[in-house]
Amino acid sequence: MMEKTAIVWLRRDLRTHDHPALSAAAESCERVVPLFVLDRRLLDGRFASGPRTAFMLGCLRELDEQLQALGGGLCLRDGSPEQVLPELAAQLGASEVYWTSDVSPFALERDRRVTKRLKAIGVEAIPSPGNFCADVSLPRTKNGKPFSVFTPFWKAERELPRRPLLPPPAVLRLPDGLDCGALPESPQLGDQLAEPFCRPGEPAARAALELWLDGPIDSYAELHDNLSGGTSGLSAWLRWGCISARETEQRAQQRGGEGAEAFVRQLAWRDFYAHVLLMFPDNLKLEYQAKFRQLEWVSDEQGFTAWCEGQTGYPLIDAGMRQLAATGWMHNRARMVVGSFLTKDLHIDWRRGEEWFERRLLDAEPSQNNGNWQWIASTGVDPAPYFRRLFNPILQQQRFDPRGDYVRRWVPELANVPTKRLAEPWLMSDDEQAESGCVIGSDYPAPLVEHKQERLRAIERYKAASA
Ligand SMILES: Cc1cc2nc3c(=O)[nH]c(=O)nc-3n(C[C@H](O)[C@H](O)[C@H](O)COP(=O)(O)OP(=O)(O)OC[C@H]3O[C@@H](n4cnc5c(N)ncnc54)[C@H](O)[C@@H]3O)c2cc1C
């Protein structure tokens, strides 16, 4: 019998464990070509990111090793998938192309075009699950509508069937003589991170998952808002598919307990925002709540730059933004507070914050970043009155960084400021400033705006837009 060849087109599913597309290809065909296409539209596009591209290349390097250990290897091509896939399929005589389906309008449109071109040359396109805990296209409200509120979504989604976890394929074989291509030797990636938050690739991801499940997860319910620790730190690996969300969910459920339950619920937010973007693709450009499309935003370049650089004079904001700049990650509580500050203290359009996050975060991904930015700007799904998501950066710091560990770590100018003054260092007397080696206005900026005043202004703006 003639041997069959399949291509597995990898995108953000850079792993060998629990990979339905890879396993199905290995089951169906004797020769399997795991392929990654370096698509310039994404790498140099609207949300280009040096740190994230470097992380992705690291994941690909690791994946190549994992695939080689199974007898195969990673094949790389430059270009557009619409062109590369039919060409390679024809060249190899491949009968099937597998991939893990995704939710963004860009991905959906691209996949439609690829499918059409493959079909035209008689090659079957086979989208598979693998990016989420469950099939995010399925949940519907009692009225048959997509969900726009998290809790009912979560109740519906957790009842959906789950696919069984898959081990890596036992063995993989590439076609003889295939030129696998190579990763760019010294890519021009622009700015890089001083202390990348985590190491790229499946082995590092699996080791981190084991460590997390082995104990720290038990305290998640209690500590997840603690700015200097308490969360899993798995987001970049989930974003790139170095571990599967489905496996993460199941392993946490097996661990059980209050911490694991809270963690599994949090993981469902990821599926929720994927569902939301799949159902409401216009959200990428427009406010989900139409009334807030009228909101007036301020154009304040100085304020925006101070926010980006962590120089606002509000210690928690500056700590979060500097953590992002240095590591490519920020604690969720800090993301919420800096998001609130940008949109409701500086009155700057959430899209600018979304873009800045896209450029720096290792875990940035359109459905998650857009969903969360619209949530904090109070323009998106899961609505709550806008004043409920208008955070006071002083109180948030006192509550979630009471000893000041997080702020002192990321804003070293404040290292010797007494804890009772740390959330409002501008209240230090001249003597206190001299003693702590932090003179406001020279060692550390005075607050850029006055929160109490800007809060009222934000309420007016939102009120006017919703009237
Ligand atoms: C303005 C803003 C922008 C954000 N942009 C992104 C983004 O681009 N990509 C991204 O993955 N997360 C984003 N988040 C969500 C959240 O901050 C991160 O997922 C989380 O901080 C990752 O850290 P962790 O893995 O330690 O999380 P944990 O608390 O350990 O949670 C476990 C996993 O659950 C998922 N999760 C947790 N919280 C959320 C959430 N609010 N929304 C969606 N999924 C969640 C993540 O996959 C996370 O890795 C954003 C949040 C805000 C407020």
Domain map (residue ranges) of the chain: 5-131, 132-164+201-279, 290-466
> What DSSP element (H or E) covers 353?
helix 350-360
Q: How far is the CA of 269 from the centre of ligand 1 (A)?
A: 8
CA distance 465 to 269: 28
What DSSP state is assigned to residue 242? S
**Which residues of the chain, if any, have pLDDT below 70?**
1
Q: Give the 3-state secondary structure of residue 37.
A: strand
Report the nearest-CA residue for atom 18 of ligand 1: 332
Q: How far is CA 239 from CA 11, 353, 439, 458, in A?
A: 11, 19, 41, 33
Pick from 113, 139, 419, 131: nearest CA to 275: 139
CATH of domain 290-466: 1.10.579.10
* 30 DSSP 8-state letter: S
Dihedral of the alpha carbons of 302, 305, 306, 310, in degrees to the nearest 10: 180
The closest-lying atom of ligand 1 relative to the alpha carbon of residue 361 is 8
Supply φ then ψ for residue 379, to 5 degrees: -110, -5
| Cα–Cα distance for residue pair 259/106, rounded to 1 Å | 36
Single pTM value for the model: 0.98
**Gap between the Cα atoms of 144 and 132, Å rounded:** 22
335 C-alpha vs ligand 1 centroid, how far in Å?
9
77 CA distance to ligand 1 middle (Å):
31
What is the pLDDT at residue 114? 98
**Token pair of 369 as six digits:** 């970043």
Contact 396, 333 (CB under 8 A): yes
Distance in Å, CA 272 to ligand 1 centroid: 12
CA of 332 to the centre of ligand 1 (A): 6
pLDDT for residue 256 = 98
Beta bridge mates, 440:
444
Nearest protein Cα to ligand 1, atom 1? 373
Q: Of the CATH numbers 3.40.5.50, 3.40.50.620, 1.10.10.10, 3.40.449.10, which one belongs to the domain with range 5-131?
A: 3.40.50.620
Give the Å distance between the CA of 369 and the centre of ligand 1: 8
Dist. CA 410–CA 143, nearest whole Å: 48
How far is the C-alpha of 366 from the C-alpha of 120, rounded, in Å? 31
The CATH fold assigned to 132-164+201-279 is 1.25.40
Mutation choice for ligand 1 from 217, 324, 332, 349, CB with most ligand atoms inside 8 A: 332
Residue nearest to ligand 1 atom 35, measured at CA: 267
**Residue 447 CA, ligand 1 centroid: distance in Å:** 28
Q: Which residues line ligand 1 (CB under 6 A)?
A: 224, 231-235, 238-239, 266-267, 269-270, 273, 332, 335-336, 339, 357, 361, 363-365, 368-369, 372-373, 376
Question: For residue 418, how far is its CA from the centre of ligand 1 (angstroms)?
Answer: 31
* Exposure letters 92-126 (e unless 16+ CB within 10 A, then b): bebbbbbbbbbbbeebeebbeebbebbeeeebebb
Is the separation of the CB atoms in 37 and 114 below 8 Å?
A: no
In DSSP terms, 34 is beta-bridged to: 8
Instruction: Locate the ligand 1 atom nearest the alpha carbon of residue 339 and give its number.
Output: 1
Gap from CA of 68 to ligand 1 centroid (Å): 32
Nearest residue by C-alpha to atom 34 in ligand 1: 267
d(CA 304, CA 347): 10
Q: What is the mean pLDDT of the chain?
A: 97
User: What pLDDT score was predicted for residue 366?
Assistant: 96
Residue of minimum CA distance from atom 17 in ligand 1: 332
- pLDDT at residue number 229: 92
pLDDT at 133: 98
C-alpha–C-alpha distance, residues 47 and 57, integer Å: 17
Using an 8 Å Cβ cutoff, are 312 and 407 in contact? no
Mutation choice for ligand 1 from 369, 372, 381, CB with most ligand atoms inside 8 A: 372
| Sheet with strand 75-78: strands edge to edge | 75-78, 31-38, 5-10, 96-100, 124-128
Share in percent of the chain as helix, strand, coil (round to 5): 50, 5, 40
Cα–Cα distance measured from residue 206 to residue 211, given in angstroms and rounded to the nearest whole number: 9
- CA–centroid distance for 112 within its chain: 24
**Backbone phi and psi for residue 32, each to the nearest 5 degrees, phi listed first:** -130, 125
Cα 318 to middle of ligand 1, angstroms:
19
Indicate the length of the chain as a whole number: 467
Q: What pLDDT was estimated at residue 46?
A: 76
Protein residue whose Cα sits closest to atom 43 of ligand 1: 270
Which of 368, 379, 396 has the most ligand 1 atoms within 8 A of CB, as the residue to mutate? 368
